Amino acid sequence: MYEYINGLITNITPSYIVIASRSGVGYRLYSANPYRFEENVESHVYVQQIVRENDISLYGFIDADEKALFNKLLNVSGIGPKSALAILANGDAEGLISAVENDNVAYLTQFPGVGKKTAQQIVLDLKGKLDELASKTGMINASSSPEQSQALDDALEALLALGYTAKDVKAVAQIIGRNSDTTDGYIRSALKLLVK
């Protein structure tokens, strides 16, 4: 139902933030790490609504990729919103994706509430299903500007939308990340590599 909320972060607690929308409503958003947000700062927070028998809760995320990973985790048998947040609190999406793809059950059992059986279920349910998210993590050169990073992200999303596999996009991302600074330039560079 909700995609995101723009508003002022009015309160930060260990488990949730409160964001006051421009309409004057304050929303409680449970978050993996509420302290990534800044109090008294206008923010753009991605939101997921979870409806249960006796509860309706909102969960807030720093970006759309974190929200997507949360939803993927919720599809795993035995993982609920609290467990998914505990896994995301680590902040290492690339490590999580790598663990799933490489059957690293030991890595997954380090999270609260995730035993060996649940870790095996995470691998079983998510292996091969995190390709799009994997293609977006760890590819941006640390020295690039925020504008270059956004342009590269947009280009990678465009390539995925064109039908290229996440594996192909990831393969060219490292190369094109050094060659341009506009979305169009990144796409052109990538297409030259992909059509060879």
List for the chain the helix, strand, coil content (%; round to 5): 45, 20, 35
> What is the C-alpha to C-alpha distance for residues 177 and 128, in angstroms, rounded to an integer?
24
Neighbours of 110 (CB within 10 A): 11
- Enumerate residue ranges in the chain where pLDDT < 70: 134-149, 177-181, 195-196
Q: Please give the domain boundaries of the chain with CATH numbers for all domains.
A: 4-61 (2.40.50.140), 64-132 (1.10.150.20), 135-194 (no CATH)
Environment class of 77 (CB within 10 Å of its CB; exposed 0-12, middle 13-18, buried 19+): exposed
Neighbours of 56 (CB within 10 A): 8
Amino acid found at 103: D
What is residue 67's predicted lDDT score, i.e. its pLDDT?
93
> What is the C-alpha to C-alpha distance for residues 172 and 185, in angstroms, rounded to an integer?
13
> What is the C-alpha to C-alpha distance for residues 106 and 110, in angstroms, rounded to an integer?
7
Q: pTM for this one?
A: 0.68
What is residue 51's predicted lDDT score, i.e. its pLDDT?
94
What is residue 97's predicted lDDT score, i.e. its pLDDT?
87
Environment class of 79 (CB within 10 Å of its CB; exposed 0-12, middle 13-18, buried 19+): buried
Please write the tens of the pLDDT for every residue from 16-31.
Answer: 999 999 898 999 999 9
Would you say 61 and 73 are in contact if contact means Cβ atoms under 8 Å apart? no
What is residue 139's predicted lDDT score, i.e. its pLDDT?
36
Neighbours of 33 (CB within 10 A): 14
Q: What is the DSSP pairing of strand 26-30 with strand 55-61? A: parallel
